[in-house]
Amino acid sequence: MEKEIILSAGIDIGTTTTHLVISRLVISVSRGFGVPPQAEIAAKEIVYQSPVYFTPLLENGDINGAKVAQIIQKEYAAAGVTKADLK
């Protein structure tokens, strides 16, 4: 059985609130002769959780994507991770 440890970002962007969670996941992959590989999450740990933000909206009520991107970048920096660190 193979194991891989990855960092994962969960980003929740809603019409009211937005937040980010960084997790460390241990993925176990089992392989067998003539059987497709099966992957499962063997362990998980939250390593960073951002504060909850009010989702920035445009005047017409649409989500302001540019401001949400700024929030996400700020929280990546606070967590000490970059996009390249994530899988």
Q: What is the C-alpha to C-alpha distance for residues 56 and 49, in angstroms, rounded to an integer?
A: 19
pLDDT in tens, 1-22: 789 999 999 999 998 999 999 9
Alpha-carbon 47 to chain mean position: 11
The pTM assigned to this predicted structure is: 0.81
The answer to whether 6 and 23 are in contact (CB under 8 A) is: no
pLDDT in tens, 25-51: 999 988 877 888 888 999 999 999 999
